[in-house]
């Protein structure tokens, strides 16, 4: 079963994403911040990390995740960003270790649909 780690500072959206992913058959862990995420990765790993954080925080978290999982199977890292974020900001995100961006608002059902499509 694919394990997804959701990192989101807002409890309501974190719970909504986690619920949609569980209903879709994913094994899900949901945390509020980077430190909790790193502990969760060390304990249970993840195949996918979904970051719903401000872009600068998402970049920092992605970099920390890549560092923490170096030498191991690194998870795919997805981040939600505002449509107003610049191309340069998204390129910086890729450099930090973010594999793919979802544009906000992106309902949890859409995230599930795209994850399924990308994991084939």
CATH topology for 3-118 is Rossmann fold (3.40.50)
Is the model's pLDDT at 71 over the cut of 80? no
In this predicted structure, what is the pLDDT of residue 48?
95
pTM score of the predicted model: 0.93
Is the model's pLDDT at 9 over the cut of 80? yes
pLDDT digits (tens, 9 = 90+) for 11-54: 999 999 999 999 999 999 999 999 999 999 988 889 999 999 99
Phi-psi sector, 25: left (phi>0), alpha (psi -120 to 50), beta: left
Q: Which run of H or E residues covers position 67?
A: helix 55-68
In this predicted structure, what is the pLDDT of residue 24?
96
76, two tokens: 């795919």
Q: Where are the domains positioned within the chain?
A: 3-118
% of the chain at pLDDT higher than 90: 67
**Pairwise CA distance, residues 28 & 30, whole Å:** 6
Beta bridge partners of 101: 79
The pLDDT of 65-85, averaged and rounded, is 88
| Residue 75 confidence class, pLDDT cut points 50, 70, 90 | very high
């Amino acid at each position: 079963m694919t394990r997804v780690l959701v990192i989101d500072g807002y409890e309501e959206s974190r719970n909504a994403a986690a619920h949609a992913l569980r209903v879709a058959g994913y094994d899900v862990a949901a945390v509020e911040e980077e430190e909790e995420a790193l502990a969760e990765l060390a304990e249970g790993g993840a195949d996918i990390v979904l970051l719903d954080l401000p872009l600068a925080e998402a970049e920092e978290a992605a970099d920390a995740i890549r560092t923490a999982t170096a030498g191991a199977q690194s998870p795919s890292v997805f981040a939600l960003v505002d449509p107003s974020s610049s191309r340069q900001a998204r390129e910086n995100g890729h450099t930090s270790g973010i594999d793919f961006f979802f544009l906000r608002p992106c309902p949890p059902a859409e995230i599930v649909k795209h994850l399924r499509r990308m994991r084939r």
